[in-house]
Amino acid sequence: MEERRPAIVAVDDEPVVLAAVARDLRRGFGERYRILRAGSGAEALELLGELKKRGDAVALLIADQRMPGMEGTEYLLEARRSYPEAKRVLLTAYADTDAAIAAINEVALDYYLLKPWDPPEEQLYPVIEDLLTGWEAGSTMAGGGLRVIGHRFSSETHDLRDFLARNRVPASWMDIEMDPEARQLITIAGVDEERLPVVFLEDGGVLEQPTVLELAERIGVANQPAADHYDLVIVGGGPAGLAAAVYGASEGLRTVMVEREAPGGQAGQSSRIENYLGFPAGVSGSELARRATDQARRLGAELLSINDAVALRVEGSGRIVELTGGAELSANTVLVASGVSYRMMEAPGFAELTGAGVYYGAAMTEARACEKQHVFVIGGANSAGQAAVYFAKFAGQVTVLVRGDSLAKSMSHYLIEQITELENIEVRTGSEAVAAEGEDGRLARLRIRSGGIESSEDADACFIFIGAAPRTDWLEGVLARDERGFILAGAAAREHGWPLAREPLPLETSVPGVFVAGDVRSRSIKRVASAVGEGSMAVSLIHEYLASA
Ligand SMILES: Cc1cc2nc3c(=O)[nH]c(=O)nc-3n(C[C@H](O)[C@H](O)[C@H](O)COP(=O)(O)OP(=O)(O)OC[C@H]3O[C@@H](n4cnc5c(N)ncnc54)[C@H](O)[C@@H]3O)c2cc1C
């Protein structure tokens, strides 16, 4: 129906330019989107207010920078309050490029478009299409498909929602305590409230208290290997594994990638990666993961999600990876790209309340529910800084607890600047959470020690980023590791049981034909770009290995 289509809102004070933008947008996107226009920032904000009241979706905001009264950046900043997920584009003249680049941080700009944008087929449509695809991926995920009904502060419900969001399965979520329709639905389906969470499938099926694996199998996310033997088995679907899948498949290797949770790895959980080359306005981790996964699949890599590698065996020239559930993958070569996992808080209360107000990582599924709430972020590194900036968009107050005496030692300068500018973020250095206290099965308070004094503070949610460690126990006795469990490669591996006369290749482990890339490698640089670099480099080395084997 006409009025339900999502909107694109264009703003310009010059009627001729506004008419031209609207005309081109209508020609490119008019079938899927309503193109709405306004002659000033104030008029557009009024329009957004009306759309919001009607519950209409807005996919994209496009505004000229030079407008009297309210500049484009000022308007986009205001507009972000009502439509934080809408993509934001600034129209600028060449002379205003500096202002546009500055606005990338200020208003979390997605793109700046130089005027004139002729021909639109080259300058306008590809950019807008790309942004709309990203917006659609987020909005379909939140809007349609499966329905999950449960209690917000139940770890089982959180795990199901997190799994669906990270695997990009379109699903909507209904809180039994807040949504009368949810209660009606479970009554009609005859589901006892004691049996929550429940998932209503698109085929009419109803799953009561499913595990993540049961749900994954039922909706076809967990699948079985298609072949008996591969050239390359990749363990881990973070940036390193995905890059290897893209290069492996595109260079003709029969490639399969096994991922325990969801493609994207740690990077998939980042709210905004700002330093990855080629994305001047930053890119969310889930968007990067979506692009990389699509790319790997398109080039012919096989992706097995919700599969955990539990053992590695060497049989002659074959390398065998065992999966949970007993399946085995046989291959000529293996790449271990299993990254690192969050370290857990050991203080009392945190384990019991995980998923019920206490979360590891940015847990994007919880962001909207934090509206007007007081959330705590624990940690002082970049991941904590990104999360604080992200949650500040939704929460009333964000308090960052940092053990050290300054952020400067552990966080990048650009993030410290962003945090300083946001009024609803408070950074408390020299502070640590020593206990989490619950009420009615959910987090209620944190006990915080600051300067030797302990106090209790009300907390609605707490997101933890206190470092990470490799989980490589399954490789014990097979691959040489350093004292912290990171895998040795190249010259370092040669000292630890390397069996051949030739030198190991640079990313080769102590077992010939088994390679390692990314964060799990001993002495690696913990960055998306270096993981991607190593993943792609590993494929060249694998070719070299195969050629000489
Ligand atoms: C919140 C956050 C924000 C970040 N922001 C930035 C940033 O802005 N810029 C930047 O450069 N870096 C950033 N980083 C760091 C960056 O994300 C990592 O360096 C990068 O993801 C490492 O990639 P990887 O592929 O080596 O490992 P990971 O990303 O850790 O991926 C490893 C994958 O392997 C899977 N796995 C593990 N064991 C197994 C197994 N046995 N079987 C099957 N699968 C397994 C895991 O589930 C995971 O998906 C951030 C990290 C975090 C946590």
Q: Tell me, in angstroms, the distance from the centre of ligand 1 to residue 323's CA.
A: 20
Beta strands in 31-102 (DSSP E): 34-38, 58-64, 87-92
Task: Give per-residue pLDDT as tens, 198-221.
Answer: 999 988 899 999 999 899 989 888
Q: Where are the alpha helices (DSSP H) in 372-501?
A: 382-392, 413-421, 491-494
Residue 260 CB–ligand 1 contact under 6 Å: yes
- Whether the CB-CB separation of 482 and 522 falls below 8 Å is answered with yes
Q: Tell me, in angstroms, the distance from the centre of ligand 1 to residue 518's CA.
A: 8
- 23, HSE (Cβ side, Cα atoms, 13 Å): 9
Q: Is the pLDDT of residue 95 over 90?
A: no
Residues 37-63: what's their mean pLDDT?
Answer: 95
- Whether the CB-CB separation of 392 and 398 falls below 8 Å is answered with yes
Tokens for 235?
A: 């363990």
Residues 379-397: what's their mean pLDDT?
Answer: 92
Which one-letter DSSP state was computed for residue 353? H
Residue 457 to residue 447: CA distance in whole angstroms: 6
Tokens for 306?
A: 């919700």
Is omega for the bond preceding 68 within 30 degrees of 0, making it cis?
A: no
Residue 158 CB–ligand 1 contact under 6 Å: no
CA 42 to chain centre: 34
Task: Give per-residue pLDDT as tens, 442-490.
Answer: 999 999 999 889 999 999 999 999 988 999 999 999 999 999 999 999 9
Nearest of 534, 363, 387, 379 to residue 468 by alpha carbon: 379
Q: Tell me, in angstroms, the distance from the centre of ligand 1 to residue 477's CA.
A: 24
Amino acid sitting at position 350: F
Residue 266 to residue 44: CA distance in whole angstroms: 38
Residue 485 to residue 496: CA distance in whole angstroms: 14
Beta strands in 440-510 (DSSP E): 442-450, 453-458, 461-464, 468-469
- Whether the CB-CB separation of 153 and 356 falls below 8 Å is answered with yes
Residue 248 to residue 199: CA distance in whole angstroms: 37
Nearest CA to ligand 1 atom 26: 518
Give 2's pLDDT tier (boundaries 50, 70, 90). very low
The values of phi and psi at residue 469, to 5°, are -140, 150
- 192, HSE (Cβ side, Cα atoms, 13 Å): 2
Question: What pTM did the predictor assign?
Answer: 0.82
Tokens for 180?
A: 């009368």
Residue 259 CB–ligand 1 contact under 6 Å: yes
Bridge partners (DSSP) listed for residue 1: none
Q: Provide the percentage of residues in the chain whose pLDDT is more than 90.
A: 72
Residue 380 CB–ligand 1 contact under 6 Å: no
The 3-state DSSP class for residue 338 equals coil
- Cα 322 to Cα 233, 308, 331, 480, 497: the distances in Å are 11, 8, 11, 19, 23
- Whether the CB-CB separation of 545 and 508 falls below 8 Å is answered with yes
CA 212 to chain centre: 19
Task: Give per-residue pLDDT as tens, 488-512.
Answer: 999 999 999 999 999 999 999 999 9
The better pLDDT of the pair 30, 361 is held by 30
Q: Is the pLDDT of residue 286 over 90?
A: no
Residue 248 CB–ligand 1 contact under 6 Å: no
For 464-481, letters b (16+ CB in 10 Å) and e give bbbebebebebbeebbbb
Residue 337 CB–ligand 1 contact under 6 Å: yes
Residue 459 CB–ligand 1 contact under 6 Å: no
Ligand 1 pocket, mutate which of 274, 515, 528, 537 (most atoms under 8 A from CB) = 528
Highest mean pLDDT among 142-146, 242-246, 394-398 belongs to: 242-246
The better pLDDT of the pair 312, 414 is held by 312
Residue 261 CB–ligand 1 contact under 6 Å: yes
Q: Is the pLDDT of residue 296 over 70?
A: yes
Task: Give per-residue pLDDT as tens, 338-358.
Answer: 999 999 999 999 999 998 999
Average pLDDT, the chain: 92
Q: Is the pLDDT of residue 1 over 70?
A: no
Is omega for the bond preceding 499 within 30 degrees of 0, making it cis?
A: no
Ligand 1 pocket, mutate which of 338, 476, 515 (most atoms under 8 A from CB) = 338
Beta strands in 317-467 (DSSP E): 318-323, 328-336, 341-342, 358-360, 374-378, 397-401, 425-428, 431-439, 442-450, 453-458, 461-464
Residues 102-129: what's their mean pLDDT?
Answer: 87
Burial class (CB in 10 A: 0-12, 13-18, 19+), 488: buried
Nearest atom of ligand 1 to the alpha carbon of 535: 25
